Amino acid sequence: MTASDETTTRAGATGIPWRRLSWHFVEMVAAMFIGMAVLGMAARLALALLGHADVLDRLEARVVVMMLSMGTGMTVWMSYRRHRPAGIVEMNVAMLLSFAVLLVPFWVGALPESAVMTGGHVLMLPAMALVLLRRRGEYANSHDTELRKMR
């Protein structure tokens, strides 16, 4: 084991390879933003072509389109990386709940739209990090190792 390998895999008593976990997190966030950009634009275009662009005037509709777009991007990437379905579902739920908890205060007039959008994105990251830590064994192992175990 080289010195860089030790740095990569050493994380105190827990032995969590933080660099690998961090990289997985970055990959998932990147996939979410790519999904949001590509599928979000496609949804806007489709609604405009169907004459229903005004649907996106409502915050709830924008959140749904964004969640579906981001979730699809992340799901595709996690499936490509051979994550188990339960982990994919948990990660999507963490992302969704980050926004859902803010909609209730929005509906009663306690939060403006901008706070829901900003707060949802801010809450999403630690919520996803918690799922990542909960399944750290799955995320910390190299995918080649996981594939060998599955065979």
Asked whether residue 138 carries a pLDDT value surpassing 90, the answer given is no
- The Cβ of residue 94 has, within 10 Å, a number of other Cβ atoms equal to 20
Asked if 126 contacts 119 with a C-beta cutoff of 8 angstroms, the reply is: no
31-52 pLDDT tens trace: 999 999 999 999 999 999 999 9
The answer to whether residue 82 is domain-embedded is yes
- The answer to whether position 42 is within a domain reads yes
In a domain, 2, yes or no: no
Q: So what's the pLDDT on residue 7?
A: 43
- Domains contained in the chain, number: 1
Q: Is residue 7 part of a domain?
A: no
For residue 10, the model assigns a pLDDT of 44
Task: Check residue 149 and give its pLDDT.
Answer: 54
- The answer to whether residue 103 sits within a structural domain is yes
Give the pLDDT score at 118.
Answer: 96
> Buried b / exposed e across 129-144, counting CB within 10 Å, b at 16+?
eebbeebbebbbeeee
Q: Which amino acid is at 36?
A: M
Residue with tokens 């909609």: 103
Q: Is position 132 within any domain?
A: yes
pLDDT digits (tens, 9 = 90+) for 44-81: 999 999 999 999 999 999 999 999 999 999 999 999 99
Domain extent for 49: 18-141
Highest mean pLDDT among 45-49, 82-86, 143-147: 45-49
**pTM score, whole prediction:** 0.78
User: Residue 140's closest CA among 44, 8, 7?
Assistant: 8
